A = this chain, B = another copy of it.
Amino acid sequence: MDIPIQRGDGGSAPIYLQIADYLRAEMEAGRLRSGTRLPTIRRLASELAVNRGTVSLAYEELAARGLVTSTVGRGTFVRAPAAAEPVTPDAPGAFQPVFTAPVERLIDLENARPRYAADGDAIAFHALVPDPSLYPADAFRRALNRVLASEGAELLSYGGPQGHRGLREALAKRFAAAGMRHSADEIVLCQGASQGIALAMRLFAERGDVVAVEEPTYSNVLSAIASLGLKTAPVPMRETGLDLAALEHTLARPDVKLLYTIPTFHNPLGTSTSVEHREALLACAGRHGKPVVEDAYEMDLAYSGRALPPLAALDAAGLVVHLFSFSKSLFPGARVGSIAARGRLIDALLAMRNATDLGGALVLQAALSQFVADGDYDRHLARLRRTLRSRRDAMLAALRRHFPDGARWSEPSGGYQIWVELPEGLDSRDLLEDAQAAGVLFAPGFLFHHDGRPSRGLRLTIATADEAAIERGVAKLGERIHARLAAGPPPRRAAVPV
């Protein structure tokens, strides 16, 4: 057997590996077939003028990879490489996975989402992702370097399920300014508010149980609910917030285990409820002993003044699980949000978080803590709020200018999203097709309905488009709506997914 061997110049692989790699290549090329007996160690060592130990190591390497098999007294034989080419999923013999029903439903939901073509020039009214050009990336990088210099390698170990104490203390202080009285021990850091929502729902509800949700509501929460095998009980949103009479009925149902709500800068509506409505909602939840998951993901984004007190600030009974996130008010990439709750809820959340992923990235939590302590977060918020206010003004002015009579929209006092209702007879999913062709994207209303029903509503965001783009985009949308209205009523749509 003629195996070329490079010796000793330091740059070449160890000789045993050269032998093993050569033999492996011969097998893969089909020149050494399954069942072939390899030369004895003694013979190959002599042929190649190497130590027997070297050949022995080469054969062990091949055996470890499952490519040869050795039997004492019989020798070493080539085996068919077990993996061969991976089979394609529809080949005979391929594993046909059987997913759980919630997983199949979740995949359907994902497939029903609009495919926003990757058109970099499109005006992106669809995305609720803050604009990277507004991120204070340099200040954050400095904070990151500072904590790595001062706290060092310990920041690269596990941070535990509760997360960085300094950041929890900073959050407790900020929340206190909004009227909440949670200590750092009553706060758990999480992977953005989204993880917190899923963890909180899992405390109270399991397969077949029901979550009361606003109708419409945050589309990703509908996915989270589906993924957990839970069901929704939709409660309609009125001008003033959740319909309280309907909520009373819904929370009275024993299969309804909790309420998920967004009282401030609602997603997708952009509206906020009054203090009186909040108190009435809490009283209702209290009567039925049902916990309330409050999504306060935009609580720091009032355009001016302070936002209304969160439910968690008005909650004397300890019903509320309060979720905060840096994803919209700073950037999402740190993947840091928080869950504030009381008593046994905290123990349960910590256990759930631990069993889910053992906790988040301590180093990013520490950097955020530094960033907040240095005042960089408040400076960023001041700039961001001004920017958003001016974009909101531009959006409302453009809507008034370009949208037809019969269209209505919300006038948010904070956050990124404005909800528009098209005139009677239009479906926002039809409009999206026209709009995409014209280079304008938005989120059609059916995404926010628990049953994907056809909707006149649509969500526009002011996350990435500046004032000029807002004017241009709304003008284009207005044109398309006028054209649709002129063309007469469309065929009726079915709900998605059915």
Chain copies in the assembled complex: 2
Q: Which residues of B contact A347 (CB under 8 A)?
A: 107, 110
Binds B, one of A149-157, A236-244, A386-394, A450-458: A149-157
A61 touches B315 (CB 8 A): no
A354 within 8 A of B: yes
Contact of A87 (CB < 8 Å), options: B279, B317, B334: B317
A355 touches B198 (CB 8 A): yes
Q: Which residues of B contact A203 (CB under 8 A)?
A: 97, 99-100, 103
Contact of A306 (CB < 8 Å), options: B64, B202, B220, B308: B64
Given contacts A153-B132, A344-B89, A358-B220, contact A314 B100 (CB under 8 A): no
Contact of A129 (CB < 8 Å), options: B141, B157, B209: B157
Q: Which residues of B contact A412 (CB under 8 A)?
A: none
B358 touches A361 (CB 8 A): no
Number of residues of chain A lying within 8 A (CB) of chain B: 115
A316 touches B87 (CB 8 A): yes
CB distance from A84 to the nearest CB of B (A): 6
A286 touches B95 (CB 8 A): yes
Contact of A202 (CB < 8 Å), options: B100, B156, B364: B100
A316 touches B191 (CB 8 A): no
CB distance from A338 to the nearest CB of B (A): 14
CB distance from A127 to the nearest CB of B (A): 9
A85–B206 CA distance with the chains assembled, in angstroms: 32
Q: Which residues of B contact A352 (CB under 8 A)?
A: 103, 106, 227
Within 8 A of B (CB), among A57-109: 60-61, 63-66, 69, 82-89, 93-103, 106-107, 109
Q: Which residues of B contact A212 (CB under 8 A)?
A: none
CB nearest neighbor in B for A198: B356
A313–B306 CA distance with the chains assembled, in angstroms: 57
A133–B106 CA distance with the chains assembled, in angstroms: 43
B286 touches A156 (CB 8 A): no
CB distance from A305 to the nearest CB of B (A): 7
A60–B302 CA distance with the chains assembled, in angstroms: 15
A354 touches B223 (CB 8 A): yes
A22 within 8 A of B: no
A412–B192 CA distance with the chains assembled, in angstroms: 39
A179 within 8 A of B: yes
A314 touches B66 (CB 8 A): yes
CB distance from A360 to the nearest CB of B (A): 6
A143–B370 CA distance with the chains assembled, in angstroms: 21
Q: Which residues of B contact A334 (CB under 8 A)?
A: 156, 361, 363
B206 touches A107 (CB 8 A): no
CB distance from A176 to the nearest CB of B (A): 11
A204 within 8 A of B: yes
Q: Which residues of B contact A291 (CB under 8 A)?
A: 95, 97
A226 within 8 A of B: yes
Contact of A333 (CB < 8 Å), options: B103, B207, B305, B362: B362
A184 within 8 A of B: no
Could you show 24 A-B contacts with beta carbons less than 8 Å apart?
A60-B305, A61-B305, A64-B308, A82-B282, A83-B313, A83-B314, A85-B181, A95-B317, A97-B344, A100-B203, A103-B348, A103-B351, A106-B355, A137-B152, A137-B153, A156-B333, A157-B331, A158-B327, A191-B191, A191-B358, A191-B360, A195-B356, A206-B229, A357-B357
In the A-B complex, list the 8 residue pairs whose CB atoms are closest, starting with the nearest. A89-B343, A156-B333, A195-B357, A227-B355, A66-B275, A191-B357, A132-B153, A137-B153
Q: Residues of A with Cβ closer than 8 Å to B?
A: 60-61, 63-66, 69, 82-89, 93-103, 106-107, 109-110, 129-130, 132-133, 135, 137, 140-141, 144-145, 148, 152-159, 179, 181, 190-192, 194-195, 198, 202-207, 209, 220, 223-224, 226-227, 229, 275-276, 278-279, 282, 286, 289, 291, 305-306, 308-309, 313-319, 327, 331-335, 342-345, 347-348, 350-352, 354-364
